[in-house]
Amino acid sequence: MTESTAAHEPAPPQPPAPVADAPASTGLTGASAAPAALELRGLWKKFGSKIAVAGIDLTVPAGSFYGLVGPNGAGKTTSLSMATGLLRPDFGQVMVLGQDLWADPVKGKSLLGVLPDGVRLFDRLTGEQLVTYAGLLHGLDRETVAARATDLLAALDLTADARTLVVEYSAGMTKKIALACAIVHAPRVLVLDEPFEAVDPVSAANIREILTSYVASGGTVIVSSHVMDLVQRMCDHVAVIANGHVLAAGTVDDVRAGASLEDRFVELVGGRSTGEGLAWLRTSSR
């Protein structure tokens, strides 16, 4: 994967040239080259006077476990929202396994499983009903949905709460049932925004095992997280995003360049504070 850097202020966005049925670039040549799982081409998004995403280009290889990291307000969630059909970009193109997502949203979204940030659920359904509803929306028959819902509730340790209303779930349980809804239709690409937030360590380990097995079987996972150690241990590729730009992207080893991913992240993003000026907080000063 080609490394991407952005070290200067961007020019004002311009509409991209039309691309008709163009395959996503993977860096491979020849007729056997497979499309990338996800490709973002020149994505821009502006909210009022604030540019949230400034011309992001990113290629996620099929079959990869891809981490997306960045400080708060970096543009990660906005980028993922545009990449999954939840937010229309001002400019740019999103390709999912060679399909133009915004040219045919229904077809593109059928390939995706999405766990958005701050997910809102139909929480007056039980957990079992919610997963069933998600499966039926994706066109699965009732017998298949019932079997998969049972499997997912067991795998995510929610069987005992299958008939409890989601509104009564804890934050961690809500995150897990939302993940079950994202994967019930066995998508080819999973896009998960902070999937481990508020999840207990045992459940987090179970989720990692599920995702690792999914990638080993040929699926692709894209996950955003603030936990650098988790991304370094779990992912094989990573992109660092700040101020709406991709600062670095590639394999985890290439991006961290011999350092820990956290140290490399701080080096790229900057802004580290020493805590000077808080002498009053030190117990020795009392």
Task: DSSP for 205-252, please give it.
Answer: HHHHHHHHHHHHTT-EEEEE-S-HHHHHHH-SEEEEEETTEEEEEEEH
- Please choose, from the candidates 123, 116, 272, the residue with its C-alpha nearest in 3D space to the C-alpha of residue 197: 116
> Using an 8 Å Cβ cutoff, are 243 and 70 in contact?
no
**Within a domain: 217:** no
Q: Could you identify the residue written with the tokens 């779990």? A: 234
Q: Could you identify the residue written with the tokens 């860096």? A: 27
Q: Which amino acid is at 91?
A: F
Tokens of 163: 């008939």
Structurally, the chain folds into a number of domains equal to: 1
Question: In the prediction, which pLDDT does 33 show?
Answer: 65
- Residue 169 is classified by DSSP as S
Domain of residue 137 covers 117-186
Question: In the prediction, which pLDDT does 120 show?
Answer: 84
Which pTM value belongs to this model? 0.83
- Please choose, from the candidates 266, 185, 246, 188, the residue with its C-alpha nearest in 3D space to the C-alpha of residue 222: 188
**Within a domain: 177:** yes
Question: In the prediction, which pLDDT does 276 show?
Answer: 72
**Within a domain: 54:** no
**Within a domain: 213:** no
Give, for 65, the enclosing helix (H) or strand (E): strand 65-69
**Within a domain: 86:** no
Distance, CA of 195 to CA of 258 (rounded, Å): 27
Question: In the prediction, which pLDDT does 30 show?
Answer: 41
- pLDDT tens, per residue, the chain with 286 residues: 444 444 444 554 554 443 334 333 334 444 446 789 999 999 999 999 999 999 999 999 999 999 999 988 889 999 999 999 999 999 999 999 999 999 999 999 999 999 998 778 999 999 999 999 999 999 999 999 999 999 999 999 999 999 999 999 999 999 999 999 999 999 999 999 999 988 999 999 999 999 999 999 999 999 998 888 899 999 999 999 999 999 999 999 999 999 999 999 999 988 676 667 787 787 665 5
Distance, CA of 230 to CA of 227 (rounded, Å): 5
**Within a domain: 127:** yes
**Torsion sign across C-alpha atoms 96, 97, 99, 100:** positive
- Please choose, from the candidates 233, 220, 157, 227, the residue with its C-alpha nearest in 3D space to the C-alpha of residue 183: 220
**Within a domain: 39:** no
**Within a domain: 160:** yes
Question: In the prediction, which pLDDT does 127 show?
Answer: 97
Question: In the prediction, which pLDDT does 284 show?
Answer: 64
